[in-house]
Amino acid sequence: MQTGRWLPSAMAVCVTLGALATSVVSAQPRDSRQRSMYVSVLDEKGRPVPDLGPTDVVVREDNVAREILQVTRADDPIQIALLVDTSQAARTSIGDYRQAIPGFLDAVLGGPVGAKNQVAIIGIGERPTILTDYTSNRTQLTNAVNRIFAVEGTGTYLLDGIIETSQGLKKREAARSVIVALTTEGPELSDRHYQQVLEPLKASGATLHVIALGRPLNMSEDRSVALSRGTSESGGRYDNLLVPSALPIRLKELAGEILGQYRVTYARPDTLIPPEKITVTSNRPKVTTRGIPVNEPSAPVPDRGRQD
């Protein structure tokens, strides 16, 4: 399995003004001097780091370290949109999708942590098509997996799928939302500029993860930029799997990352000027750290995750 091509060698998640921001304002009253982030901290094997505490996390705003007030397991319900490539180029991968997705569903919907979560499955061959809307009903989801077929004579409409899914998630005002795209490196037929993808993704506050199967081809600039920036700026990752049989393991790892996030709350002094840059790092050695702000419509969001 080959992991995300954009991951550099240092450890940090940078947040830049004007990137993705969570659009839901918390219904709970909170101190205006406190801010929170959803943070993933993964070890060298891609597993969530257990027992993270306030001394294990460093948040900096414009290079100024902030006081960490609390680190707790993130337990807000998650709405997960699973985009599946059903184009002609994906015909040899359909069996891999069908084999891998049930394990992912078992993980994200299982146990007390997953009981509140919901998943939608959306085909992105020919045009974005909802196979099942957001639900935790396993029968509906299993039926949707069984309806995953390659549509002959079609191309991939991944960018359109991200746009329409982002718009739908914004309307739903989920506390936490995630878009997981399973795609091939086949032709992208969405006629979209990358900014047309990044803007609704930004407005939705969703984290985007992309897993591409097959050897990388010469993607269009718009698709390349949309996927690389969309994943990095939202606290997600872009992975390329040369061996499709690795998909079940990778999806289970991704489920563990999604469920293993922490909510990091830190103090910010009273100021009228928001920070231009936020970084979150971990004092733990050899870990990957990524994050995205919680319920802060005007806050900047992660630029990319990095690894020691």
CATH number at residue 248: 3.40.50.410
* Residue 43 within any structural domain of the chain: yes
Strand boundaries in the chain, DSSP class E = 13-16, 34-42, 57-61, 64-65, 68-73, 78-84, 118-123, 129-135, 176-184, 207-213, 238-241, 262-267, 277-282, 288-293, 301-307
Output the six-digit token pair for 211: 């897993």
Q: How much is the pTM?
A: 0.83
| Domain shared by 276 and 253, yes or no | no
* Residue 2 within any structural domain of the chain: no
Q: How many domains does the chain have?
A: 2
Sort 32 into a burial class: Cβ within 10 Å, 0-12 / 13-18 / 19+: exposed
* Residue 37 within any structural domain of the chain: yes
| Domain shared by 61 and 82, yes or no | no
Tens of pLDDT along the chain (308 residues) come to 444 333 333 334 444 333 333 333 333 444 558 999 899 999 998 899 999 999 999 998 999 999 999 999 999 999 999 999 999 999 999 999 999 999 999 999 998 778 899 999 999 998 899 999 999 999 999 999 999 999 988 889 999 999 999 999 999 988 899 999 999 877 889 999 999 999 999 899 899 999 999 877 667 889 999 999 999 989 899 999 988 889 999 999 999 999 999 999 999 888 768 888 888 899 999 999 998 888 554 444 444 444 44
Residue of 9, 144, 169 whose CA lies nearest to 84: 144
* Residue 20 within any structural domain of the chain: yes
* Structural domain span for residue 69: 13-75+262-307
| Domain shared by 58 and 164, yes or no | no
* Residue 154 within any structural domain of the chain: yes
| Domain shared by 240 and 92, yes or no | yes
